Amino acid sequence: MLWKWGFRLLIFFLGLWLLVVLGSRLPVEIFWFQEVGYLQVFLLRLVTKATIWVFVVGITAVYLLVNLLLAERLKYPQLVTSQPVSSEFTRFLNPQYDPRNLARSFDPRRFPAIRLHWLLPLALGFSLLVALMLAYYGEIAISYWNPEFSKTSLLVSDRFQLESIWHLVRRIFSQVWYLSLVLGIAIAILFYPRLSLRAIAIVMSLLFGQIIYQNWAKILQYFFRTAFNDTDPLFIKDTSFYIFSLPVLELLGLWLVGLFFYGLIAVTLTYLLSGDSLSQGFFPGFSPPQQRHLYGLGGALMVAVALGYLLSRYELLYSKRGVSYGASYTDVVAQLPAYNTLCALAVAIAFYFLWRTIFWRPKSPHRQLAFYGLGVYFLLALVGGLLIPNTVQYLIVQPNELQREQPYIQRTIASTRQAFDLQAIDTRNFNPQGQLTEADIKANELTIRNIRLWDQRPLLETNRQLQQIRPYYRFPGADIDRYTLETEAASSSPAAPNQQSASQNAATTERRQVLIAARELDYSAVPQQAQTWVNRHLIYTHGFGFTMSPVNVVGPGGLPEYFVKDISGDSSALTTANQGIRNSIPIGQPRIYYGEITNNYVMTGTKVRELDYPSGSDNVYNNYDGNGGISIGTTWRRWLFAAYLKDWQMALTRDFLPETKVLLRRNVKQRIQAIAPFLKYDSDPYLVVANASLDQSNQDYSTNQNYLYWMVDGYTTSNHYPYSDPDKDGINYIRNSVKVVVDAYNGTVNFYVADRNDPIITTWRKIFPKLFKPLSAMSKTLSKHIRYPVDYFNIQAERLMTYHMTDTQVFYNREDQWQIPNEIYGNQARPVEPYYLITGLPTNPFEEFLLLLPYTPKQRTNLIAWLAARSDGQNYGKLLLYVFPKERLIYGTEQIEARINQDPVISQQISLWNRQGSRAIQGNLLVIPIEQSLLYVEPIYLEATQNSLPTLVRVVVAYENRIVMAQTLEQALTAIFQPQVTPPPAIIRPVEEASPSS
């Protein structure tokens, strides 16, 4: 009796906990989406998810439980086997017993009787199959919460098939706890079939609800799909069918196969284990009503199997068989006809099963057709689905592979280039002449003045030593951007056509490439004894300011120069290098409440003042007056948010005021992910300083004195583009369709459509019309800082290494495979990373902001090509591929690195620096196009092994067969292009001047 009361109390408190969790979560989510202005987005998602979950769980539970209830009514009662046939079972246990005598005592319309030596393995096998199904679908459901729990990519097309079962069995046997769990479930089914099968039916309903509920985005896309206006070459269907419809059909197939298969197995087990069959050692056979029931369930399962083969036809477009991705010769000639035949046969069997169920005749003369049909089906599945395709592949295709696969290779090339937007690349020939002169250097002064000498890593290390000010500040990253700054030294090169306003004022302004780093607050660095609840949530609420450094200027002692630095104690907030910088860079009050490492929630407008920034031995305090946050001044809201955040001190503190607000989801990536989780986002949000409210009519931006914004690139992706070869993450279609702007002070989030031609983003605009805005609505001061994203560029660059080959024979032979070259960074080799640069393209007379990456041939080190992405104005998003002549040697990064390290003077100097207590770091080697030539520049830093403070001590410049190391870039260029006037001491700096403390 006591355990019953304990169980009831457990259920009561569990229900109360669920009520508190769910009852607090929904209102808080509504408040938060109201704050960011996207409540409609949340409500549509909520209604969609709830509808899907209720529908799937309801249909699954009703189907399974009703069939189990019907099976309970039709199964054998214990009296059937224990009393009327007890004498028969007594004789059955006798070794001399003839089973033919027992068969005469049963209804001849029953299925043949099953004795213990068949009954036990049959029942155990079915029980293990149920346990395997539960484990498999459980893994899929859990993977949505923790993607690393199971496979790295669980696609819904992985239906519960023989291959899936085999992989699951191998994984189960490799883990003892997993094997014990599966065996425990199987044994529980044998001992307690009624309770176990019903419990599993409910669990399966919840699992299916979870799986399909998590795919709400695919279902919404299905109903609002947009045509791609191109078709696949095999089935001649619009690509939108594969992007929007096929994933939903696969999801439906996953559900129906699991639903009908479990229903059939569970009912079969109910009948097999009825009448104490295991303890009696005998099952008398399926009665006619039981057979009718099983026929109906078998017919439903065969309908799902037919759907599976129908989908398998289309999934051939993602086949990995053959030399290229997608349907190959074998897939089209052998596998596709097999799937068509099996699909038709499955439909015929399903029709027969269902026809017999509806028009039941216990003594039908055609009752054997079911067994013949299933036998033929399994034989065709083995021969047509496995043996024939493999035979065709080995005997017909492989001896004549190029001839057979040529049209399919061409399909893969064309589709992959289309899916990754490689077909839009403008390919040009570039033959470096090696005739660069001092006059050319002067004519390209803007390019020279923006050659990046400071890499992100050494600059961040220096920032952390010189600019963190206090331990609780941190610079999580440094971002490269370009700004138009007032300066007396104007560039002699003309401005880009879209920069007319800058060219008109060329006497006083120029574009400079800079590194900008946000000074954010890292609460984990606060001393442990000071990490109190008040400090965490009320006082340490925000970061302050940023640093801005020119990429090419070196200050005293080899340290970076700063355009913007420090935290000044006056109203100017930050220190600027000169008045021109202050006029060009709006400073205002640069508080950072939303950033890359702001992972905790804070409360503002309380009785406790917020720490603003340190000033000398004192601190300056501030009260937040931004638009972000949710009001929690009333008592009921305090308790609501306390329950949601599981922070009961919120409800008990006396520091709150009526105007107190809580700021949630302050991490930039988490914030935008919560609003639009159906997009993928760039790994590196970058900070922009701009007065976005210059246009007073634009209501997207506040008019206060806070000018810091985060920009994040959003991507639409798919893994269902036909014939497109996926990357390492399984993506085979991607577009940089969205630019996201987040106000670092107010938390305002705006989504702008950057690629109106992308059908996927068009579909999302149909679903959420108020979420996305045209790119033209972005503030002009912000749009000047849009840049081609590195993550997107990396994906395209990786695909281009193979898919620049458009000739099928060249592709088949991999004659012209490219690779990303290596460089020496520090003292280790690593692949060259894309780098931003302000320079002029070989065919353009003006400088622009570019993202560059060189290529080398596979297993060779000379340059073969160079990919550039443009970021300015009307040219944004255009890709240019410059291909170098194959008959000439164009030095690659590895060859230049080898020349640097083999030079006796340079290598000796680096060895001297690498003494105990310090080390030399070779920075990024940049390949810079100037006119019709290539210039190679590599900075060298020196840092102490303790308390690292990297200093720039040398610049190495290589051009053609000349290589120079000097103290400055100007000296190195002079040594290259005016060697007769360059004194030797300017090349090599004395060792004693290069100490880490200098």
Taking the C-alpha atoms of residue 708 and residue 591, their distance in angstroms, rounded to an integer, is 8
pLDDT in the model for residue 501: 42
Mean of the per-residue pLDDT values of the chain: 86
Taking 90 as the threshold, does the pLDDT of residue 386 lie above it? no
Q: For 584-678, where are the E strands, in sequence order?
A: 591-592, 602-604, 610-615, 618-622, 630-631, 661-663
Q: What is the pLDDT of residue 152?
A: 34
Q: Supply the pLDDT for residue 230.
A: 94
Coil, helix or strand at residue 445 = helix
d(C-alpha 969, C-alpha 13), whole Å: 71
Residues 781-830: pLDDT tens digits?
999 999 999 999 999 999 999 999 999 999 999 999 999 999 988 778 89
Residue 764 to residue 221: CA distance in whole angstroms: 7
Instruction: State residue 698's pLDDT score.
Output: 66
Q: What is the pLDDT of residue 914?
A: 85
Question: Which of the four pLDDT bands, split at 50, 70 and 90, describes residue 162?
Answer: low
Checking if the pLDDT of 912 tops 90, the result is no
Mean predicted confidence (pLDDT) in 92-106: 42
Q: Is the pLDDT of residue 371 over 50?
A: yes
Tell me, what's the pLDDT at 174?
80
- pLDDT digit string (tens) for 39-57? 999 999 999 999 999 999 9
With 90 as the cut, is the pLDDT of residue 62 above it?
Answer: yes
Residue 263 in this model has a pLDDT that exceeds 90: yes
In this model, does residue 549 exceed pLDDT 70? yes
Indicate whether 984 pLDDT > 50: no
Task: Enter the pTM of the model.
Answer: 0.89
Average of pLDDT values for 512-524? Answer: 93
E-only strand ranges, 844-886: 847-857, 865-870, 879-883
Using one digit for the tens of pLDDT, what is the confidence trace for 443-458? 888 888 889 999 888 8
* CA angle at 599 for the pair 594 and 600, rounded to the nearest 5°: 100
User: CA 468 from chain center: how many Å?
Assistant: 32
Amino acid at site 378: F
Q: In which band, very low, low, confident or very high, does the pLDDT at 328 lie, cut at 50, 70 and 90? A: very high
Q: Which residues contact 467 (CB under 8 A, 6 or more apart)?
A: 475, 517, 519, 547, 562, 565, 566
What token pair was written down for 254?
A: 């996953």
pLDDT of residue 331: 94
Query: Is 717 a residue whose pLDDT tops 60?
Result: yes
- The number of C-alpha atoms within 13 Å of 99 and in the hemisphere containing its C-beta is 10
Between residues 103 and 944, the one the model is more confident about = 944
- What pLDDT does 159 receive? 56
Please state which of the ranges 40-49, 201-210, 435-444 shows the lowest mean pLDDT. 435-444
pLDDT (0 to 100) of residue 706: 85
Which pair of structure tokens corresponds to residue 190?
């044998």
Backbone angles phi, psi at 482, to 5 degrees: -130, 145
- Over residues 277-284, the mean pLDDT reads 82
